Structure 1
Amino acid sequence: MPGHFEPLPGGGAAVALDDVEISIIRSLAVQLLELVGPGPGEDAPDDPLAELFAEGPSEPPADPVLRRLFPDAYTDPDGPPARPQDAEEQRAYSAEFRRYTENDLRAGKRENALAVVRSLDALTPAADGGAVLTLSGEESRQWLSSLNDLRLAIGSRLEITDEDDTDLLYRLPDEDPRKPMVMAYLWLGGLQETLVSTLMS
């Protein structure tokens, strides 16, 4: 179990984490919460129906990490360049889609990251340090989504765009200032992979 998720009888997953690993995941999840933001709740009207139909932003976020977490719905960065009139139409469709979906997407990412923080805060430390994290099926899915968001965020900061970039990261010298972030990215990828396998078993 150390370092990777294993299935639990009846569903869910478990993983043994040491104190440093717990601290790293919790810190990253809190940073993700800060990045995604508190949501519209602070300024929302008292009418819950009005809050339900509140419109979100129509423009992509300025921060490249948030652009990765909330990409445009109608553009294909790997596809051929669109004709000017098609590009304008894509931007209009993307703006409309973002206006009506981004608030919900942000709320989902916040809830998943909060689930990570809460489950870590609820751990009972083992006598020799660390703890065994046990997750229900629903908690496992929230963790999986949040691990994916964390890797997207770190990958964006590291400017990873394809598998070749990941291969280069393995060869970074230890003195490279990106090395700790790279190690976190690769480690989270391992956790994510074992959690996927657990949920599919």
Structure 2
Amino acid sequence: MNRWHRSGEQVVCHLDRQEAAVVRGLVSQIQDMLLARAEEAPQDELSELTGIRTGPSTPPDDLILGRLLPDFHRLDLDEHEAGDEDSAAALRSLHEPALLDAKTGVAAVVLDTCPPEGGDVRLGPAEAEAWLSALNDVRLALGTALDVQEDMPDELPEDDPRSPHLGVYHWLTWVQETLVEAVMG
């Protein structure tokens, strides 16, 4: 892949077939996880009547989904009061559907604009923002799965099962970084 670069109002890069497959595959996996979470939303009559959707009131059990869909209100374990758990659950229930829509929406933009066989990718400003958000979600998910820490070396021993995936994580970091640079001009 060449660096992202600006061409007028657009940002452009060229992905080879394998790079496009990696981007599309990882974004599709994240989108599938998020859509599965959206299907866990409770069905209630008030939601059907008003059109106001509610989501699950409990955080996801899956570590990756938990990283992508963090609590909207974190409890201070030393100082929380009665009812704090209820307010955290209510906030999640109210806001998670919109967050899921946003995250699956940016994933859809990437899948629509990333050519399956590789090739040039040309993004307008809104599409570039969607790519940045979707790449961030993929990096968060992959970083969680690999247990990436600040003090983690750039390369792991070959016998470490995370080693090949860490390379993908670093590549995605570079893709996102060059996209940010191109968007910033």
TM-score of the two chains, using structure 2 as the length reference: 0.86
1:71 aligns with 2:70: yes
Aligned with residue 116 of structure 1, among 107, 110, 115: 110
Deviation at 1:173, TM superposition (A): 1.9
1:82 aligns with 2:81: no
**In 1, Cα distance between the equivalents of 2:120 and 2:82?**
51
Which residue is equivalent to 2:10? 12
**Alpha-carbon contact 2:47-2:54 (below 8 Å) kept:** no
Which residue is equivalent to 1:26? 24
Q: 1:104 to 1:159 in 2, by over 3 A?
A: same
Which residue is equivalent to 2:60? 61
SS of 1:132 mapped into structure 2: strand
**In 1, Cα distance between the equivalents of 2:104 and 2:143?**
19
Which residue is equivalent to 2:98? 104
- Structure 2: any 5+ residue segments left out of the alignment? none
**In 2, Cα distance between the equivalents of 1:43 and 1:144?**
31
Q: Give aligned pairs, total.
A: 184
Deviation at 1:50, TM superposition (A): 3.8
Which residue is equivalent to 1:164? 151
RMSD, matched Cα: 2.8
| CA offset digits 1:91-147 (Å, max 9, x no partner) | 3332121111101111111111111111124x7x6xxxx411111111101100000
What letter matches 2:177 in structure 1?
A: E
**Alpha-carbon contact 2:42-2:55 (below 8 Å) kept:** no
Identity over the aligned pairs, expressed in percent?
30
Deviation at 1:44, TM superposition (A): 7.3
Q: 1:72 to 1:88 in 2, by over 3 A?
A: farther
1:52 aligns with 2:46: no
SS of 1:37 mapped into structure 2: helix
Deviation at 1:51, TM superposition (A): 6.5
TM-score of the two chains, using structure 1 as the length reference: 0.80
- Structure 1: any 5+ residue segments left out of the alignment? none
Which residue is equivalent to 1:37? 35
